[in-house]
Amino acid sequence: MMNMFKVHCRRVSPFLLVAFAGVALAACAPSTDAIVTGDVPSDYRLRHPIAITEAERSIVIFVGRQRSGLTGPEHGDLVGFARNWVREGTGPVIVDVPVDTPNARAAAATSPEVRAALEAGGVPARAIAMRRYRPGDDRTLATIRLSYPRIAATAGPCGVWPDDLGPSLANPVHDENKPYFNLGCATQRNLAAMIDNPSDLVQPRAETPAYTMRRTAGFDRYRKGDPTTTTYPEADKAKLTMTGQ
């Protein structure tokens, strides 16, 4: 029995060695990012799904060399930026002020007004972080940059062409009448950019309270047998012609 066991082990061990060698070679194979077209879904919503991620919203404030302070439109932009932070911000507002630039002194004098405008828009003082930065290009006017993180929807990247659009012997996928890979990517990306609340893609919003006064008036008319529709006396005044009357 012992001899039979030894013979059986000798017969199996070469196969095990070949299997282990194959696994080792597969592990050493370089990984590529090539897209296998045969595995690409035909539905553009599956090829280019809209993902929910954390992105950055930012604006810039232009400051001249000889004049400090905010203009009227800039002050309005900052207040609107602050209100957007109250609605969607997930982190502090970062204010980057340039240094070692021709307009560095004017930018430093403007930064208190920037902070005051943000606070006027609803951003608390503890949520504003002031930083200094040195621009890499001296040819452009250095600006005061403001940014904060938020939850956003995104799709793409677009412009990926893993194969030719026309049929060829090397790529028979077009014989199956499937859409090309980049089809629908721009539509998904534009839709993601237009979404106001990214959570709407995942779950519905809660219902708002009903207008009790209007609903009560409608029920009273219904119980009395009166028409429940709204009448507009000025509707007849909008007619363009009186022909046929």
How do residues 114-130 score in pLDDT, each as one tens digit?
Answer: 999 999 999 999 999 99
Q: What is the mean pLDDT of residues 57-78?
A: 92
70, 78 contact by CB (below 8 A): yes
| Whole-number Å distance between alpha carbons of 144 and 146 | 7
pLDDT at 70 over 90: yes
Q: CA-to-CA distance for 153 and 193, rounded, in angstroms? A: 7
User: CA 180, 53, 94: angle at the middle one, nearest 5?
Assistant: 130
**Rounded Cα distance, 86 and 53, in Å:** 19
Q: Is the distance from CB of 60 to CB of 140 less than 8 angstroms?
A: no
DSSP string, 90-104: -SPEEEEEE-SSTTH
What are the residue ranges spanned by the domains of the chain? 43-49+156-194, 53-153
Q: 56 in helix, strand or coil?
A: strand
Encoding tokens for residue 130? Answer: 């002031």
- Look up the CATH architecture of domain 53-153: 2-Layer Sandwich (3.30)
Q: Choose the most confident range, by mean pLDDT, from 39-43, 81-85, 209-213.
A: 81-85
Global pTM value: 0.64
Report the length, in residues, of the chain: 245
Cα separation, 77 vs 83, in Å, equals 10
